[in-house]
């Protein structure tokens, strides 16, 4: 009689263990599938358009260079009239740096 109980207990425990194993395996498979889906979504997302960003920065620099050029022209006209503008030297240096930057970006 005790062997029957022991074998019955062993049978019940083995059935529970095997069902837990399949349940755990299903959870692992589901977790792996979710992780693969997340990875594919991240890799499928569009990359930022670096070329467009560089072009926008180049356009901004060119606009700033144009504004500085207009400012320097008016400052030079004032210089011809005998008035020395305080920021003329700084604006000329900024123009030089911007023109070099724009030239290197274009090349």
Tell me the per-residue pLDDT of 49-71, one tens digit each, with 9 for 90 and over: 888 888 899 999 999 999 999 99
Handedness of CA 55, 59, 65, 66 (dihedral sign): positive
Joined tokens for residue 90: 């700084």
> If pLDDT is split at 50, 70 and 90, which confidence band does 40 have?
confident
Determine the pLDDT at residue 67.
Answer: 93
pLDDT score at 97: 93
Residue 65: predicted pLDDT: 92
Residues 4 and 2: their CA atoms lie apart, in Å, by 5
What tokens were used for 85? Answer: 């503008």
Task: Please provide the average confidence, as pLDDT, over all residues in the chain.
Answer: 79
Confidence class for position 21, pLDDT limits 50, 70, 90: low
**45: phi > 0 → left, psi -120 to 50 → alpha, else beta; which?**
beta
């Amino acid at each position: 009689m005790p062997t029957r109980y022991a074998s019955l207990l062993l049978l019940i425990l083995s059935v529970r263990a095997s069902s837990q194993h399949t349940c755990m395996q299903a959870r692992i498979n589901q977790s792996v599938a979710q992780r693969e889906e997340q990875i594919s979504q991240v890799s499928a997302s569009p990359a930022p358009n670096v070329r467009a960003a560089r072009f926008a920065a180049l356009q901004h620099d060119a606009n700033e260079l144009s504004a500085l050029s207009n400012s320097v022209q008016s400052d030079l006209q004032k210089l011809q009239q005998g008035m020395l503008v305080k920021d003329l030297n700084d604006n000329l240096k900024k123009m030089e740096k911007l023109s070099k930057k724009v030239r290197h970006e274009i090349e």
